[in-house]
């Protein structure tokens, strides 16, 4: 089974306004409402690709109930911990001449709530995959990722981590199966600006030296790079298409990589191609990619000589 953890799920309210003006009444011409959060996005895309997954994390209030209901409507399994106080956050994403976001806070997560999550994660065993994705709420210990990986160490659980800077660097001693920074995040970790593929590969290998097994670097319109645990570095251009939505594209890449890895019998090149196709398919869609969307892009990706 594949499990994803989202500490701070959200309802993502996406509104489109023509020529938004501050201080004025603005009316939308399009509205979308999705369950959000990086781990939830991964679980949804895995479901679209026919791969069973279960979303873990914390929910609260009527917004939490709505998140759970919307996942159930998509046949996405969830085993959230319900927090008595507060409510799951609403994130507002405004599409106009410029894109803007207002992200809510979410509920306060207690040590008792966290222990309840640990108890669920303690049930994972060899052959399971765990995806840790996104930021850690201010009410939680900063070393929560490390605590989780320490508890699961030696059990044969493959862990993918999609986080930024210190959150990611601090888990490397636990040898995550996959990490997925983008090229800008990779540069930020080392205080450098990366301009060429060779520079990106050099610093990705530094992450391997620090403990990562497979390093997947997303580069938006410039494609992607995989520095694998074994074998040659793979470099791919980006598929052609009109970018409609950047939200969830990185999460979709992680879901696609895991799908390709599992369905191919653990072939990393297949996983890489599926990750690129899935991430791009979401970027070319208004929402998260469907299996049909992915198949269309995968045809182009399969033609790339990596």
Q: What is the DSSP letter of 174?
A: G
Task: Name the strand (E) or helix (H) holding 203.
Answer: helix 197-209
CA atoms of 103 and 94, how far apart (whole Å): 11
Question: In residues, how long is the chain?
Answer: 306
Q: Which two tokens stand for residue 73?
A: 């409507």
Catalytic residue among 251, 267, 286, 293: 251
Scanning the structure block, which residue is given the tokens 């001693």? 173
Question: Residue 153's CB: how many other CB atoms inside 10 A?
Answer: 12
What pairs with residue 34 in β-bridges? 12
Distances (CA, A) of 121 to 2, 170, 302: 12, 20, 36
Residue 97 bears catalytic tag: no
Question: Residue 20's CB: how many other CB atoms inside 10 A?
Answer: 16
Q: Contact at 8 Å (CB) between 9 and 59?
A: yes
Which residues are marked as active site?
A: 251
């Amino acid at each position: 089974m594949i499990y994803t953890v989202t500490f701070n799920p959200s309802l993502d309210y996406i509104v489109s306004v023509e020529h938004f003006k501050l201080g004025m009444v603005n009316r939308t011409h399009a509205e979308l409402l999705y369950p959000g959060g990086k781990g939830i996005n991964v679980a949804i895309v895995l479901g679209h690709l026919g791969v069973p997954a279960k979303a873990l994390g914390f929910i609260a209030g009527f917004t939490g109930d709505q998140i759970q209901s919307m996942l159930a409507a998509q046949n996405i399994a969830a085993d959230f911990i319900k927090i008595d106080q507060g409510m799951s956050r609403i994130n507002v994403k405004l599409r106009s001449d410029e894109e803007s976001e207002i992200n809510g806070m979410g509920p306060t997560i207690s040590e008792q709530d966290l222990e309840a999550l640990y108890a669920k994660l303690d049930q994972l065993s060899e052959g399971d995959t765990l995806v840790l994705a996104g930021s850690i709420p201010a009410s939680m210990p900063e070393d929560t990722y490390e605590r989780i990986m320490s508890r699961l160490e030696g059990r044969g659980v493959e862990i993918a981590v999609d986080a930024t800077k210190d959150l990611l660097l601090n888990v490397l001693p636990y040898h995550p199966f996959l990490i997925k920074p983008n090229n800008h995040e990779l540069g930020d970790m080392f205080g450098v600006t990366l301009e060429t593929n060779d520079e990106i590969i050099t610093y990705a290998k530094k992450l391997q030296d620090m403990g990562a097994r497979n390093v997947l670097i997303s580069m938006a319109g410039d494609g992607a790079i995989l520095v694998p645990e074994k074998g040659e570095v793979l470099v791919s251009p980006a598929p052609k298409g009109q970018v409609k939505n950047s939200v969830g594209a990185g999460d979709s890449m992680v879901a696609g990589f895991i799908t390709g890895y599992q369905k191919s019998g653990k072939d990393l090149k297949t996983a890489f191609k599926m990750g690129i196709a899935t991430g791009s398919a979401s970027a070319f869609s208004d929402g998260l990619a469907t299996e049909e969307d992915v198949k269309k892009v995968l045809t182009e990706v399969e033609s790339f000589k990596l």
